[in-house]
Amino acid sequence: MLFSASGGWSQVIDVNKQNQEEDRRGSSIIDDSTKQVFGPQDTRYTYEKYLKYNNLEIFTIDTLIRNFHRFHYVPASGFMYQDLGNIGTALNPIFPENANEIGKMTGFTAYDPYYKTPDDIKYYNTLSPFSRFKIIWGGGGRALTEANYTRNINERINFGFEYRGYFIDKQINRQGRGDRNVQGVYYHLHGSYVSQNRKYVALAYFNRNRHVASDYGGIQSTTNDPMDDIFFSDNRQVNLTDAQTSDLRTNYHLYHQYELSRLVQVYHSVDRYKQLNRFSDSPVDDAFWPIDVVDSVQDYDRTKFNVLKNEFGVKGDVGKTFYNFYYKARKLNQNYKYLDSDTLSVPTNDLEHFGGVNLRFGNDSLSYIEAYGEVETRGNYLIGGRLQNTWFHAEARSQRTAPTYMQQAYRGSHHEWSNDFESSITTSISGGVSLSNSWLQFQPSAGYSLLTNYINFRQYYNADSLLLVAPFQAAGDISVLYAELAFSITLWKRLLLSSTTRFTNVSGSSADAIQVPELFHLSQLSYNNILFDGNLEIQVGFDFLWRSDYYAMGYDPAIMQYYVQDQFEVYSYPLIDVFINAKVNRGRWFLKLNNVTELIRGKGYFATPYYPGQATVLDFGIDWIFFD
């Protein structure tokens, strides 16, 4: 059992140091000239949340090939998100999700998954310098690049960086190589420090993500019929030719803690977060927009959001019970290009105060009972509990969340509103069972959520019969019930069949505020083997995705928001991707043929209304890791 969270992280480092000393006869710093061969087990990492909540887990470098071909966000999420039919485009969860923050946020969330939060940053401890390079050559000019590097200065200090680049060409009306649909560059620098007496630990990083997309507004069509051949014709035309959106985010983050004893540790974290969202367009696209709010030669909308967040807490372990009490302050500033802050009912310069508690009974990461809560001085709150063991899990939570700035007020080139929404309330309960043996894993689960004062964007007709998009607050309650069955079966030792099927029902007086597919199914059949005396590992198979017909959320590029609509029904489509994943020594590679179904049916599918999904194309990717 670890003495404490900070001591546990130090102990991991001490073990590595001891191994170095045994192998290197006293050297405490890695000598790059050594002929010692290091491997994945010699590079370990953890996340801040495991240190913060005294439940330290240590991970080693991922070298698995299973699902390596799911290299971008939508397939990696289990196809639980919709996009605009191309890698790196705006994202939206298909099923409703709980907000991560009960206080006010800016409201621009379409590019959230491409940005890493404090919980996503890895902090390493290495015996040797570690680097990883990943390159994807996707068909149709869809390229991704990733690079990681980290090393220990000594047994107590580590630093490193991570880089990711999206260079994605248009898939519709592409004018040639380099005609970008998406260009995004993310990077972060990270470091960790443990004092010599193991009492003090500090984790820090800086990250930046700039994501730019040319939004084409969907395919031009004189009807709302998804079966119209124009959507997949060689002569199809797009609605927007010059529109562009961008999302720029930066964050400076520091977490540090000091251990007075096993019973008492104190900590502090600080974040300096900035987000800048822009939309621009030229007069050539004016016919697409129902109204012009701002009289300008060229559309140029801009919104800035700044947050300075400080959290101070005390925590500790009493026997097998963990406790944490904290105070959090968030200083906010929202700046609109075309809105005077003095005219708004919601303060754009604000200071929020929170108090919170976390309790965990049982310090085994596989079996525990957890309770948590947070309250804001204006009445927003989060309270919940979680039960976890090796075969069963359950969670109940309720939260009252402030409306976002974007939901309360906005004025841009083609949109304008001012609201006084109440905070939304979500109460949910979920649970599941996990049973497994040598050949079968069986994981049924179910959940229920009650949504009150639910806020979403929707499409509506104004008094002049113009079809507009704006936020709305549901007048009645909404009930969301789901049941899910996930399983995997190993057949004849080499064939693996995995499957997830989900049924969702939305009811209540305001049920039309949420549109989800009633049935969702994802499965995979693959052949897995290790050949040539362990020198080649392969996985060969196909993914099968099917969703029932539903009115999927539409997308408005000017405000970067997905919205509820009832004009365009996305039809069900049996999407099939065929893949080969392989590993030779420390290199992994894959081949993936996207959307084989289109070769057979001659017609593709829709990722979002008016936005066709990825056509049949071949992708190739490779990944190397080095330990010197």
Closest CA to 457 of 556, 380, 550: 556
Pairing of strands 244-259, 495-507: unpaired
Report pLDDT for 342: 72
Residue 578, Cβ neighbours under 10 Å: how many?
16
Is residue 248 predicted with pLDDT exceeding 60? yes
Is residue 380 predicted with pLDDT exceeding 90? yes
The pLDDT-based confidence of 541 (bands split at 50, 70, 90) is very high
Return all residues near 366 (Cβ < 8 A) that are at least 6 apart.
388, 389, 390
Q: What is the CATH number of the domain that holds 375?
A: 2.40.170.20
Report pLDDT for 403: 97
Is the C-alpha dihedral spanning 84, 85, 90, 95 positive or negative? positive
The pLDDT-based confidence of 22 (bands split at 50, 70, 90) is very low
For the chain, the helix, strand and coil percentages under 3-state DSSP, each to the nearest 5: 10, 55, 35
Rounded to two decimals, what is the model's pTM?
Answer: 0.91
% of the chain exceeding 70 in pLDDT:
94
User: CA–CA separation, 391 vs 432, rounded Å?
Assistant: 8
pLDDT tens-digit profile of 488-525? 999 999 999 999 999 999 999 999 999 999 999 999 99
The pLDDT-based confidence of 19 (bands split at 50, 70, 90) is very low
235 to each of 172, 219, 220, 613, 617, how far by Cα in Å?
Answer: 10, 11, 11, 17, 19
524: left (phi over 0), alpha (psi -120 to 50) or beta: beta
pLDDT tens-digit profile of 73-89? 999 999 999 999 999 99
Domain assignment of residue 383, given as a range: 5-626
Domain count, the chain: 1
Phi, psi values for residue 48, rounded to 5°: -55, -40
pLDDT tens-digit profile of 178-231? 899 999 999 999 999 999 999 999 999 999 999 999 999 999 988 888 888 899
